[in-house]
Amino acid sequence: QVQLVQSGAEVKKPGASVKVSCKASGYTFTSYYMHWVRQAPGQGLEWMGMINPSGASASYAQKLQGRVTMTRDTSTSTVYMELSSLRSEDTAVYYCARAGGYMDVWGKGTTVTVSS
Amino acid sequence: DVQLTQSPSSLSASVGDRVTITCRASQSISSYLNWYQQKPGKAPKVLIYAASSLQSGVPSRFSGSGSGTDFTLTISSLQPEDFATYYCQQSYSTPYTFGQGTKLEI
């Protein structure tokens, strides 16, 4: 079955970087864009950006430009989201989601906590 | 950027009620509007895509309508498992923004 398996929870200090992985299975990896969406505690959903696993082109939310990088490894059907210069406001659950126009399959989420 | 405004932000209803949630876009987005349901501690789940298409496996009591700037999600007869938070999201242009959410409570 189609599934996205994300890496485990992370605790980071302010100023550090975090890299979250999302391993896809059950479908042709290069046929769907992968999006990243985050949700701060008690807050709504925030679109972070997306990557085309076929050509590796990526598009990011303006507010994260310069701090976020999305990459992929087609040999393992895995996409990565790296966020640098972490601050307390980056504490959130990070989701990857497959999309062919709409996000139809989601990972379970990765909790990233930024705390000194 | 396209801004999406949902109303209401929260809603109290009872089992069996008919409920409508509205999403208004800051500019025309044609039918590039999707609806998601999220329960506490879980990932969102798509209910409706392209404004009015029901995702496979989603009960038919959920329906969507609208185009341009005004959209609605309707639940025809609330079931206990429908109490959750609902988000609209546009896939017309990046950034693919979400509405602020509507919390549906008993």
Q: What is the pLDDT of residues B23-44, one digit of tens each?
A: 999 999 999 999 999 999 999 9
Query: How close B17 gets to chain A, by Cα (Å)?
Result: 25
Which of B12 and B106 is assigned the larger pLDDT? Answer: B12
Angle at A37 between CA A35 and CA A42, to 5 degrees: 170
Interface test with A, best of B2, B45, B46 (most A CBs within 10 A): B46
B34 touches chain A (CB under 8 A): yes
Whether residue B44 and residue A45 make contact (CB cut-off 8 A), yes or no, is yes
Q: What percent of chain A has pLDDT over 70?
A: 100
Mutate to test the interface with A, among B2, B91, B100 (most CBs of A within 10 A): B91
Mean predicted confidence (pLDDT) in B72-95? 96
Note the pLDDT tens digit of each residue in A51-92: 999 988 999 999 999 999 999 999 999 999 999 999 999 999
Can you give the pLDDT at residue A56? 81
